[in-house]
Structure formats: C-alpha cells, structure tokens
Structure 1
Amino acid sequence: MNAKTMSRDAAYQLGETALLLVDMQRVWLEPGLDPDHPERAPDHYFYRQTASVTVPNNERLLEAARAAGIEVVHTIIQSLTEDGRDRSLDHKLTPIHIAPSRPEGLPPKSLAPVGDEILIPKTSSGVFNSTNIDYLLKNLGIRYLIITGIMTDQCVDMAVRDAADRGYLVTCVTDACATASPERHETALKAFGGYCWLADTDAVIARLSRMKEAA
C-alpha cells in the first residue's frame, strides 16, 4: 500500500472492491418465518426497520455496485446437509439450522444474486471462520470490502472485525445494517467502528459512482 491507500476511508479501486451482504435472507426478514423468534410480531422494530430502511438501502447499494462493475458477494446462514449435521457446535446448541432445501433460507428476490455473483453458505456467526471467503476474496484481488446486513451486533460485527484482521480495508454501511433494537445497533457501531470506515448508503453510493466515472 502507498500513502494514498493507507486509510480505512481510502477511495475504492476498480477491480479491488467488493460488496458483501451478510445474512439478508427471507427467514430473518419476513415476519413469521423465524422459528426462534415467534414472539416478534410484524410491527416489531426489527421488521419495521429492515423493511423501511435496511432492505431498500441494500437494494440501492446492489444497483450501484453492479453499475460500477465491482464484485458482489452474498453470505447466508445455511447448512450443507438437510439434517444440519455439518453445523458448527454453536449452531447446534443455539439451535440454528436452515436446510439447503428451504426456500425461505435464500435472499428475497430484490436482494438475490444475479449472474455469477457468489453465494456462500455459512454455519457460524463469522463468515471468515466457517467459509473460504478469505481465499475467494484474495483470488479476486479484493482489498476494499463494503459490508452490510444483519445482525449489526452479531454476524456483521464479526465480518467487520475478521476482515480488518485479515488485511482488508473495510466499510460498514451503517444504515444498510440492522439488529433487534436501535440501542443494540448503535452500541455495536461504536464498538467495532475502529475496525472500519463507518459510512451511510449515500456516501458509499457516491464513492461507487465516482469510481465508475473515473474508469
């Protein structure tokens, strides 16, 4: 890295930038599908926030990323086997199990992969711990990683910290992430903010647009 790129908020570079969507799946986003939280009614904060802010901002980011020609990677919680025997111990104890045959385990249509975008199943909170994403990103030449998704204080938190530890310049898009309450969301951003550039959707889209124009 040179002096111009030795910063968490350094300008993105074409061919070295990827957008990573974390766990944007129907099972978590659509009321009534999450078997672990039957108490969450459709008017729960999480569903209202994701429907009105998080999902629309991810849709905008996907459109901008695709227009700019950067890599788009999706990760979802999904077992490799129908009975979940391949799951991490933590997911067995919780328990969390999304069988590969369950359609609700996939992203909603508006956030689904298109073309040959990469979809990576994981069975732990940290995508870098239970998948080959680091290997894939390095093969793709990625240095700048833009992260969005759910939950801010769980799977997004781990993706940000682990990516930073592995040498990526990380952006967390603050209004394209969500968790169970606004307090948890803000506390998480304050806790892991030192590992990344915290920016909103408008700022990231503006950067992607400038990168496209400079190409």
Structure 2
Amino acid sequence: MTNPRETRFRAGESALLFVDMQKIFCTPGLDPAHPELGPDHYYHRRLRDMVIPNQSRLLARARARGIQVMHTIIEALTEDCRDVSLDHRLSNLMIPKGHPMAGPIDELAPIANEIVLPKTSSGVFNSTNIDYVLRNLGVRTLIVAGVVTDQCVDMAVRDAADRGYLVAVPGDACATYTQDRHDGALRAYGGYCWVTDTDTILSRMEAR
C-alpha cells in the first residue's frame, strides 16, 4: 500500500455511501437544473455505461459482506420546500418531500433497513445527521460514489475527511457533466481521500 489512505473495508467499521443517485438526476430530461441533458449527453452515457453498473457491483458486494449501505438524496423535509438552503433555491434544486422521482434509482433501490438521508444542501454532512449516524454504527472507513463528482461528491469527501473518516472514491463509480470536470475534481480532492477504482474497492471488501 503506497497511499497512506489506502485500506481494506471491513464489516462493522465500513460504509458505502451513494450520493444523489436518484431518479430525478439520473433520468434524461428530469433534472430541474439541467433539463437540456439528453440521453446521448456525456453525463447520461457515463451513468448508463459505466457508473451505474459499477455502483451495482459495489452494492451487491457490500450487502454480501455485511458492509453498511447508505443513500443520501436531495429532498426537502417539507412539501413546499420552505426548509431548502439558499444555494439550492438559487440553483433550482427544489425537490419537495415525497416527490415521485426523488428516490434512488431502481438499480440501487434500498432494501429493508438501509438508511436513506434526505438533504437540502450540497454537503450531506451539513444538512443531515450522517456524522452522528456513522459514529453510532462504528464506521471509520467510508466509500463515496455518486453524482456529481465536482459538487456533492466533493463536499462529502472533504467533510468526511475533516471529521476523521478514512475516505475512498472509486472514480469509475462517479460522474459529472464533462470528463475534464470529473478528472479535475478527483485531482483537486485526491489529497483528502484514496482515489481508486471499483475493482480495487471490491477486492478490499471483507466480511466481519
């Protein structure tokens, strides 16, 4: 192991966190902030051809190994979105409580007893109680995958690192709107995490 953040992921102290892998952001034409993104756009092709298949593999292995699985989604706590952050209001990211497309995509649908945390800001550590929950679960190592690489994934990685978690990011299980943005983001926050790939993460997942 040459990266000081490189590690194995043991049941009982590890969690896999999916960031914003919800229907409204992963279905062409539904994203309120980017309605122009069609099925042939780079972002949706990457999701379809690489990211979702890799995330599905991570999900199956985590469940099989007893590693905690968590989902965070952008969704208000209220039907009129009065609790949404200023930045999300300005960015037109107003997803009402109970919106039919707010939930995780079918490929990653939570099973009974998996934790789903609705958030109203880019940073899951800022607008949910995820830190409290992770500490109650005994989690020390966190695998972060999702969208978009240079925004909400970025926030999750940096905030988790600042709070003392050992973070890993499989770059081929994340996406943003261009390859340059994706690559630049991984370079920018690579100092806060172990940037690796899905196959390597899978090989490091261990049962209790």
Question: 1:199-210 maps to which residues of 2 (within 5 A)?
Answer: 199-208=196-205
Instruction: Give the gaps of 5 or more residues in structure 2.
Output: none
CA drift at 1:99: 1.1
Question: 1:26-105 maps to which residues of 2 (within 5 A)?
Answer: 26-105=23-102
Residue among 162, 184, 187 paired with 1:187: 184
How many residue pairs are counted as aligned between the two chains?
Answer: 207
Letter in 2 for 1:69: G
Kindly provide the CA deviation profile for residues 123-180 of structure 1, in whole angstroms up to 9, marking residues without a partner as x.
0000001110000000000000000000000000010000000000000111000000
Q: What is the CA–CA distance in structure 2 between the aligned matches of 1:166 and 1:121, rounded to whole Å?
A: 20
Q: What is the CA–CA distance in structure 2 between the aligned matches of 1:89 and 1:173, rounded to whole Å?
A: 30
Kindly provide the CA deviation profile for residues 165-205 of structure 1, in whole angstroms up to 9, marking residues without a partner as x.
00000001110000000000000000000111111000000
Question: Is 2:146 aligned against 1:169?
Answer: no
33-42 vs 12-21, which moves further: 33-42
CA drift at 1:108: 1.3
TM-score, normalization: structure 2? 0.96
Q: What is the CA–CA distance in structure 2 between the aligned matches of 1:11 and 1:30, rounded to whole Å?
A: 33
Kindly provide the CA deviation profile for residues 21-61 of structure 1, in whole angstroms up to 9, marking residues without a partner as x.
00001111111211222221221110101011111111000
Letter in 2 for 1:148: A
SS in 1 for 2:71: strand
Q: What is the CA–CA distance in structure 2 between the aligned matches of 1:39 and 1:12, rounded to whole Å?
A: 39
Q: Which structure has greater helix proportion?
A: 1
Question: Is 2:125 aligned against 1:149?
Answer: no
Question: Is 2:118 aligned against 1:121?
Answer: yes
TM-score, normalization: structure 1? 0.93
Q: What is the CA–CA distance in structure 1 between the aligned matches of 2:134 and 2:110, rounded to whole Å?
A: 17
185-194 vs 84-93, which moves further: 84-93
Percentage of pairs with the same residue:
57
Which residue matches 1:8?
5
Aligned CA-pair RMSD: 1.4
SS in 2 for 1:124: coil
Q: What is the CA–CA distance in structure 2 between the aligned matches of 1:38 and 1:195, rounded to whole Å?
A: 32
Kindly provide the CA deviation profile for residues 86-144 of structure 1, in whole angstroms up to 9, marking residues without a partner as x.
11111122221111221111111111111200000000000001110000000000000
Kindly provide the CA deviation profile for residues 50-91 of structure 1, in whole angstroms up to 9, marking residues without a partner as x.
011111111000000000101000000000111100111111
